């Protein structure tokens, strides 16, 4: 068990609880516990100054996917471009939005090309399977 120590808030000596031991820094008085918690929160906010700002910006910018729509939806509509423009400025927002449009267009073209290629390969497989069936039927065992 840790020995007596001064409270970090009121500076009165206290005996720490047996379970908390070395970690307890303030006495058990509610005012001291509340003040220690307030100080810890203030220190955390000082170490993470942009935490709330970042969270609020994300909540403003991200709209989320529209309900009930299939893959044909516009993924860029999941963002609020007005909020993005307010946050980063007109030039950066336009460049990011146009980059997103180029990437969406490229992805759609790539998926279409892949689908056409799969269809061609499938046609060759079906044609060769039909020839094999004819060849087996032509030659009696
Ligand atoms: Zn105290």
Q: Which has more pLDDT, 133 or 39?
A: 39
DSSP summary character for residue 13: E
Distance 112 CA to ligand 1 centre (A): 69
The predicted structure's pLDDT at residue 30: 96
> What integer pLDDT is reported at residue 105 of this predicted model?
92
Q: How far is the CA of 45 from the centre of ligand 1 (A)?
A: 23
Q: How many CB atoms are closer than 10 A to CB 90?
A: 9
Helix (H) or strand (E) segment spanning residue 5: strand 5-6
The DSSP element (H or E) to which 14 belongs, if any, is strand 13-14
Domain spans in the chain, listed from the N-terminal domain onward: 62-138
User: 37 alpha carbon to ligand 1 midpoint, in Å?
Assistant: 12
Q: What is the pLDDT of residues 24-70, one digit of tens each?
A: 999 999 999 999 999 999 999 999 988 888 889 999 999 887 776 66
**89 half-sphere exposure, CB direction, 13 A CA radius:** 2
């Amino acid at each position: 068990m840790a020995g007596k120590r001064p409270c970090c808030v009121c500076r009165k000596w206290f005996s720490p609880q047996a379970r908390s031991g070395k970690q307890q820094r303030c006495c058990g008085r509610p005012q001291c516990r509340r003040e220690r918690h307030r100080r810890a929160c203030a220190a955390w906010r000082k170490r993470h100054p942009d935490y709330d700002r970042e969270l609020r910006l994300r909540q403003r910018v991200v709209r989320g996917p529209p309900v009930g729509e299939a893959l044909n939806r516009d993924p860029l509509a999941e963002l609020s471009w007005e909020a993005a423009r307010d946050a980063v400025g007109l030039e950066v927002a336009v460049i990011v939005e146009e980059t997103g449009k180029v990437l969406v267009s490229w992805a759609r073209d790539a998926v279409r090309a892949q689908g056409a290629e799969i269809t061609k390969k499938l046609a060759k497989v079906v044609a060769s399977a039909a020839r094999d069936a004819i060849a087996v039927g032509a030659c009696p065992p």
